[in-house]
Structure formats: C-alpha cells, structure tokens
Copies of this chain bind each other. A is one copy, B any other.
Amino acid sequence: MSTEPTRRPRPSTIQDVAREAGVSRAAVSKVIRNAYGVSDHMRAQVTAAIERLEYRPRVAARAMRGASFTLGFEIPQVGNDFLTMIVDGATEALADTPYQMIIAPLGRDQKGDVAINSLADRQVDGIVAISPRVDPAWLERVAERTPLVMIGRHDRSDRYDTITGDDRSGAEQVMSHLLGLGHRRIVHLTIHPSRPEPPWAGQAGAEPHVVRTAVYRERMAVAGLEPQVVHTLFDGSEAHAATLGLLASPDRPTAIFAGNDTLAIGVLSAVAEAGLGARDVSVVGYDDVPIARHPLIGLTSVDQSGIELGREAVRLLLERLEGRTEAVRYEAEAVLRVRRSSGAVREE
C-alpha cells in the first residue's frame, strides 16, 4: 500500500531527447517549435530521437515561459444547440492553426466567472466566453491579462472584443411577422432576469434576452397592445409547464414569442400536448438551432448564424494574439426563418 501500486513510467522529457540525440536541450526546443537556426542534419537526429522516445512536450512546462497554444471556451451549457453551433464554427476556424481548443463548461450552480477564471489559471492564450451576466469591470481586468472575446454582450469595452447578433433587428422581425399575421394576444416567454439586479445592469451592456424583451414591449406598445411577459428558467421543461398554464387561460394567446429556441421547443411540446397546433397558437423562437428546421418541428426562428459567430470569435482572438490592441465589435445579421409553427391568426 505504501510502495507504488502501479509503476507509472516517467514520460520522457526534453532532456532525455537531447541526450538521445546528442544535442542540447535548447536545440531540441528549437526543432520542436520549428524555430530558426536548425540544420537539416540536427533536425533529423532530433526528430528521430523524439520518435524513439515517444516524447511529447508538456504544455504545463511550456506555458510557464512561452505560450500554451490553447484557446479556452467558456460555455454555460454544453447541451445548448445554439452554443454548439458557435463551437462548431470555432472548431472550423481553428483547423489549420496550431491552437487547440478546450471548453470549460459551467458546473452546477456555477457562474461564468468561475469557468473563465479556471481557463485563465490554465494559462490559455485566449478566451472566448459567453457569459452575459458577469461584471464588465471584472471582465476588463481579465482581459488585461488574457485576450478575451465576449459573445452576446451589447456593451462596449476598450479591452475585450464583443460579438453579438443583431438582437434588435431580430426581435423587430419577429414582431413584424406576428403582428403582420394579425396576432394581437402575443405573449413573450423568456428567461428570468438577473436577480438581484446587478449594479452594472442598465448600462449599454444589456443581455440579448433583455434586448429582445425590450423590443417586444416597444412593438406591443406601438400597436396599442397589452404586453405579457412570462419568465422561466433556461430549460425547455419549465417553458413547457408555463405554456400549459397560458393555454389553459380563458383568453389564451394566439402567439408566443420565445426568447430562444430551447424555450420555443418546450412551448411547442406543450402546444402539441394540449392538442393544439400552429393554426391555434403561433410559436416563434430565436437562434435557429438545427432541429428547428426538422419537418416535424418546423419552428419559425431568428437565424443569427451561430457558426459565423464562432468563426468570428476565433478570428478576433487570433488577431489579438498577432498583436492587435484596439477592441473590436462585431455584429452578425439576424434573419427570420419562417416555418410551419407560425401562421395567420385563425378566424374565430
């Protein structure tokens, strides 16, 4: 019990390789990094030694002086299809670079800052984060040390780059669509606002969902309609339950505008379960996740091109790593994709 249970063989180090190849450590380091000043002969020697010893550089040791060649992604929810699209876009953009992606998902009851910190602690060379609810001042401090790209924040910063969809336009399109179809009892279902209201709220840095809700309210007001906003957790089954409640009410809505597709899918399931369909209740989501276009779902949604957001995030980060210092702000276009789930209000 006290003696080593399984002998873990010591993996070979750069020193071992140097000895094996009969050169100095520094020389080996140069070969690995493809640095300048290496003769073909030595490169061959060293490469052979590396092969023989199955040497692999330790990223941890490497990170202490140089770079870790790792980009960190903070993702609030691994299962979320919209975030998945972002990751896919990023993966694509990273394909021909020496950088490796690691994802730090949020633990249970964890806030985004925990995961961001954990990435920073691991000396990643850059961070992409999707946390609309962390203090911008804190983010700026993080960005002083590690290049940072924030997705889905409408605030402006001098230190980190931001990427958003055009939430205002997207929500406008949704409302124009629904109002144009003749709907008047339109309910907006979205996630709970941050509570207690953080001190930095109300600044320009409104979260995407807040912007969408604001547009909803504006358009309802302009149309002379009574807005009704229902808050749920970020979770389809909560949306499902809330919708069942709405549908049971005497003057049930003829349309539901969900703050995102996860909620919208939950809404759809409640509508179906209540024996209703698109002719009874129109449903519109936001994000245009892949399943939305499935013929059995056919969810009308706003496409803000998650793939492109991810690609762009990586591009901005790589630019930073190459020396850019001014902050950049990128906004992706929002396009409404009309599908089966929304239609003209039914004559009663």
Contact = CB atoms under 8 A, between A and B. Distances in A.
A79 B87 CA distance: 9
A332 interface: no
Assembly stoichiometry (copies) = 2
B121 A108 contact: no
A70 B104 CA distance: 11
B59 A122 contact: yes
Interface residues of A, number: 60
Interface string A109-141: 100000001101111000000000000000001
A295 B105 CA distance: 29
Contacts of A291: 265, 291
Interface in A142-196: 144-145
Contacts of A268: 294, 296
A105 B101 contact: yes
Contacts of A105: 87, 91, 101, 103
Interface stretch (A5-13, A34-42, A220-228): A5-13
B78 A103 contact: yes
Interface in A71-123: 78-79, 81, 84-85, 87-88, 91-92, 94-95, 100-109, 117-118, 120-123
Interface of A: 5-6, 8-9, 11, 54, 56-61, 63-64, 68, 70, 78-79, 81, 84-85, 87-88, 91-92, 94-95, 100-109, 117-118, 120-123, 141, 144-145, 236, 265, 268-269, 272-273, 290-291, 294-297, 323, 325
Q: Which 7 residue pairs spanning A and B have beta carbons closest together?
A: A79-B84, A103-B103, A272-B295, A60-B63, A60-B60, A95-B108, A5-B325
